[in-house]
Chains A and B, each alone.
Chain A
């Protein structure tokens, strides 16, 4: 009888023990490691260059031929709850644990699960660790250096121009014709239509376009011609109004400025194209200036303008739209010429200085690309055995990857 009672108590205790283990993953006891040599292969460390919310756990030990999976747990120091993070089936592995807090300490545990599903004790693999917030992204150092160098070069060139250095800027026929195009509209007594692109203010092409709008509006005010500026973005419209208003004042014709000539149409891409085409057909502007960012709607506007017989000058940095503009417009300002326009039109020394900086950097990029290409060809011919070439290529790749 006694043995039966003992057996019954044993069964109850076992049940209680197993059940409590299955129900909750809490355990105050620090388990003794299964095999300390194996556990040494697990490394837990703070992830660098972050805001102190990540810790990485990795293991380089291959565990070849072992028939088990591994479970990774995390526990906050002083807390009793384990959180199962991942079941790991292939080795070596690397896991980044995210969403942590820098003011808390974390412990990581692993357990081994055999093919029958039996799980070993949880073994701690690290000293409690907190993720640390960093003050600088060291992996972005080269990027920061490049920005600083580019800015310094711009400032130096601007300074040298300020001191009176002459800079040569090649002819951009599309921009040279702007005057003539505005003059034509005046002669014909018809308005000038200025489309500042279909994008928002966050697009630098739009800003470049508004920079061109200034001198154009000034010229138009001098000639006393009507200027129409339809917009797709309310912010662009607000800025365009300011630009035109100021330019009219500068030209000494603030009275000629009409607030209703710079207006919002719609934010729908093709709705905008349709409305602009409509304006081209009804108002029959003598000159259409399509400058800024355009997408698939570019041809709809350019063809509509072509049909009305207006002189058309287009400019965009959207490479895929250039062919459409070249086909349908009289002059096309291609890519970076749009950004050079502001300096080109105003001939302001400060702006010309930045143009030169762009050229220097482009030259530098061309030299590096050519160098890389030559080294690549030589390495291919020689079978890639020359260490110095390999190192140079590695270095260039490192710079441009970062």
Chain B
């Protein structure tokens, strides 16, 4: 997790260009997410104070929009496609194997903040099904063996 001080410093830079009106809330949250990849709790508390609304209400807004992430994103974002073509060609098994290796469920991040596993509807490479993406890099015709080559087994021994 990020330390409170890092959050405070970065946040101060963001808030410097705002006045603290309620109408600025969504813009601020978007900037916070752009900076940290997610909305750190400490940042949400500070933003609530800055805007002058209760923390619980800010969280209500943050949790309403699927755009906002409330948990940190790993440095490597594994997006497994589960579009129709990929689904037919074994996406469920790919997701399962990736989850087993990393020890996380869908939309979760490993505790070391290295990997986030998520699924996407279609990345537009149906000809290469099943496929997945590591950050921006697409891997096609994925097999379970290929998954094991791509991802470390963080879950061994468990």
Q: Do A and B bind each other?
A: no
Q: Which residues of B come within 8 Å of A, CB atoms?
A: none
Q: Which residues of A come within 8 Å of B, CB atoms?
A: none
